[in-house]
Amino acid sequence: MVNIIWMLMLLIGIIFAAINGTMEAVNEAIFKGAQDAVTICIGLISILVFWLGLMRIAQASGLLEGLAKIMKPIATRLFPEVPSNHPAMGYILSNMTANLFGLGNAATPMGIKAMEQLKKLNGDKDTASRSMITLLAINTASITLIPTTVISIRMNYGSANPTEIVGTTLIATACSTLAAIMIDRFFYYRRVRKGREL
């Protein structure tokens, strides 16, 4: 449905440009946009390859395992229904660690795997469990130490200091993660309270 709307808007824009005689400007914008998209993609790929390589080194050296051990007590409190030795917990910890380093593209497959495992723990029901909702909230807010994607975009556009946003990003993502956890817990306990009243 969204694709149909997008195509309809594009068609209306081209017809409008043809009627008003501004097709040259439309063509120029299309090619300029395509050029910018390729430039941004190449820049993002280079940064992601660099950070994914560092993550691979960190994984081989045991640093990621150490970070997962540090984060495990927090994760077990956030996800009390998930056994600490269950594969879902491993995927959750990997997802949180990747998000911590601003590697959203690397975190996504881990999040999907975690959701699959959480669904199995939930008896393959179609309704989301408490842990699934919590993971979604934390993954969306995701506290970030190094915003690699934003740094890459700033580098591509010639920023004098592309890493100056690290501090503010850390503060903003810490606040968003805390807010996500608080809202998640608020609705969970509210639902539990309503269930007891019935």
pLDDT tens for residues 113-144? 999 999 999 888 888 888 999 999 998 888 88
- Looking at the structure, do residues 30 and 77 belong to the same domain, yes or no? no
- Maximum Cα–Cα distance across the chain: 67
If you average pLDDT over every residue of the chain, what do you get? 84
13 has a pLDDT exceeding 70: yes
- Looking at the structure, do residues 73 and 170 belong to the same domain, yes or no? yes
Residue 198: per-residue pLDDT: 62
Residue 161: per-residue pLDDT: 92
- Looking at the structure, do residues 36 and 69 belong to the same domain, yes or no? no
pLDDT in tens, 144-171: 888 877 887 888 788 899 889 999 999 9
Query: Distances from the Cα of 60 to the Cαs of 53, 96, 97, 178, in angstroms?
Result: 11, 18, 15, 31
- Looking at the structure, do residues 107 and 80 belong to the same domain, yes or no? yes
In a domain, 1, yes or no: yes
- Looking at the structure, do residues 110 and 86 belong to the same domain, yes or no? yes
In whole angstroms, what separates CA 117 from the centre of its chain? Answer: 19
In a domain, 53, yes or no: no
- Looking at the structure, do residues 41 and 66 belong to the same domain, yes or no? no
Range of the domain at 2: 1-46
Q: How confident is the model at residue 175 (pLDDT cuts 50, 70, 90)?
A: very high
In a domain, 55, yes or no: no
- Report the 10 Å Cβ neighbour count for 25: 11
In a domain, 130, yes or no: yes
Cβ within 8 Å of residue 38, ≥6 positions away: none
- Number of compact structural domains in the chain: 2
- Looking at the structure, do residues 39 and 69 belong to the same domain, yes or no? no
- Looking at the structure, do residues 134 and 187 belong to the same domain, yes or no? yes
- Report the 10 Å Cβ neighbour count for 136: 16
In a domain, 101, yes or no: yes
In a domain, 52, yes or no: no
